[in-house]
Structure formats: structure tokens, C-alpha cells
Amino acid sequence: MRKTTLLKKLINDPEILVMPGAYDVLSARLIEVSGFKAVQCSGFGFAASYLGLPDIGILSGTQMLDITRNICSAVDIPVMADGDNGFGNAVNTYYTVREFEAAGAAGINLEDQISPKRCGHITGKQCISADEMVLKIKAAREAAKDPDFVINARTDAYTVYGIDEAIRRGNMYAKSGADLIFVEAVDSVEGIKRVIKEIDAPVSINLLQGGRTPLVTIQELQEWGAARVSIPVTAVMAAACGVKQALEYIKAKGTIKDIPNVLTFEEFTELVRLDKIRDLESRYLTEDEIAFRYRDRGGLEKAKAERH
């Protein structure tokens, strides 16, 4: 099954699809090995890890495309790209979808903010007109070569214009060809229930620590009928916390011995698939090169068994 088809199936299945946000290739691998069925690329995470900046529209489409392409190449589960607001008008959106689809993404987020856009949970957002966004969605739908490529239309109207406008836009976007409607920054349980009930399409909600949306459980979202929940920034914030704690430990203790909650070298090399490299070496290196690197083939086999 194509990844596009699989992602669309996962969205439409009765069970809610949980998509943690990847901020780089390593976090995408961790999402996959942890057993999640799909990855959401996090524009916030990309901006933080790549530029050390908040998600305020500074990261370019080319930069986001490069990171996304690497993620798509590194995991075997479907990847949802973050296309921001299409990086321009409907024509820009058309080519944005073409590029991200060619990079291996199974779908893309597209939002109705003006440029420069910003994280949906940061104040100061502004939206384009619903009619302009409809044209962007139609352009995106036409641009996608695979009919199952998922268009995830995000509206930020909830915090700008209110819940009624967010619902109105959600229904307009669904009728224009969006497969999934992402209502951003819903600030109450009743609001979550309303957008799920009143938008005639699969609905996505996102959860983040310190954001505007109440931190309800995934099970509750399942019961209320949400199709998908994205968890876009927990991974990057957890990573920042872990690195900070490790560095503070080194500063205080003067050693790396017994640092808590750090992967072993063996665990880490397994995560980045060193075993696959060893296997390729055993199949494609000459006997002379194997002997040079490992003394003999037995040395290579031992290295494969040890994983490092």
C-alpha cells in the first residue's frame, strides 16, 4: 500500500490517529521505533532545531523541504509535511505541494494565515479570507499527482474570528478538496466537541504543553470523534529538557558517568541503524577492504554482532 493511501486510511479509520511531531530525522526515527503509525513534521520544531528561533515564518520553504525529504527517506511510516501557508499565494501553494509530494511526503498541512505566519498558539495571528484559502486548497488538490495525497487544511480562525467562523471555514475547506480539517488552538472542551461535531469532515486537534487547547486525553478525543491528534512540539521540548539536564549534570559533577536517562552507545547506534551499514559492508566491500578495516571477515561478523 502506498504511504499516501495508508495515511488516508489511518485518518478515516474509527481509531484516532496519533501523530507526534518530528523536529529532525532522529526524532522521526524515535517516533517510528516507538510504534506510532505516522509522523507529523513540526514547523515549530524545525525552526527551533534548525535556526534556534520560534515558529514565526522565518524558516524558508526550501529549508523545510530539505528536512522533510531527509525524514521521509529515513522512516518507513507515512510522513505529513508542514507546508505552512503554502509559502505565498495559490500558485506558490501549487508548487509547494508538488515539491513536498516529490520529496516523499504522504500529505501536507496548509493553513489560512497571512505571511509571515506564526505558531497557532502565539498571539498576533491574522488570517487570509476564506475564499482565498479555498483557492489554495483547490490548487493543492490539483497539484498532487497522487489522488490519495492528504491535504490537511488548517484554520486559525478560531482565535482570530471565533468558533463559528472556524466551523464555517472548516466546512468550506472540506468541500474544496481537503481530506482533513485541522482547527488550531481550540481553547475549551466544548469548543473541541463542537468543531468535531459541526464540521462535516475528519477533524484534527493538536495538543501541546502550555498551549491554548486543554490537555484532554487521546481517549477523550477518540470518544468525541476526532480523526487525528497531532502532538507537534513535545518531542523537541523533551529533547531540549534532556540536553539541558545532561549538561547541568556535567557542569556540576565534572563527569559523564552515571548521567541519568541517556541512551547507551549500543542503543544509539541501533537507533541510527549501524547494523544496516555493517550488513551492506559485508555484501558490497571487497575482501581486501574488509580485511583492512576488520582484519578479516570474522572481524566484520563480530562487529555486526556487537553492533558497534
- Per-residue tens of pLDDT for the chain, all 308 residues: 999 999 999 999 999 999 999 999 999 999 999 999 999 999 999 999 999 999 999 999 999 999 999 999 999 999 999 999 999 999 999 999 999 999 999 999 999 999 999 998 988 899 999 999 999 999 999 999 999 999 999 999 999 999 999 999 999 999 999 999 999 999 999 999 999 999 999 999 999 999 999 999 999 999 999 999 999 999 999 999 999 999 999 999 999 999 999 999 999 999 999 999 999 999 999 998 988 888 877 877 877 776 54
CB 19 within 8 A of CB 236: no
CA atoms within 13 A on the CB side of 218: 11
The grid coordinates of residue 243 equal 540536553
- pLDDT at residue number 120: 86
DSSP code, position 203: E
**Is residue 116 reached through a cis peptide bond, with omega within 30 degrees of 0 on the bond before it?**
yes
- Give the per-residue pLDDT at 52: 96
Alpha helix ranges (H) inside 88-188: 90-102, 130-143, 157-160, 163-175
Write the pLDDT tens digit of every residue in 32-60: 999 999 999 999 999 999 999 999 999 99
Tell me the C-alpha distance between 203 and 228, whole Å. 7
Look up the CATH number of domain 3-239. Answer: 3.20.20.60
The per-residue pLDDT for range 265-288, each reduced to its tens digit, is 999 999 999 999 999 999 999 998
For residue 48, the model assigns a pLDDT of: 96
Residue 289 phi, psi (nearest 5): -70, -40
Half-sphere exposure in the Cβ direction for 167 (13 Å, CA) = 13
Cα–Cα distance measured from residue 120 to residue 118, given in angstroms and rounded to the nearest whole number: 6
pLDDT for 308? 45
Instruction: Return the domain boundaries, the chain.
Output: 3-239, 263-306
Q: pTM here?
A: 0.93
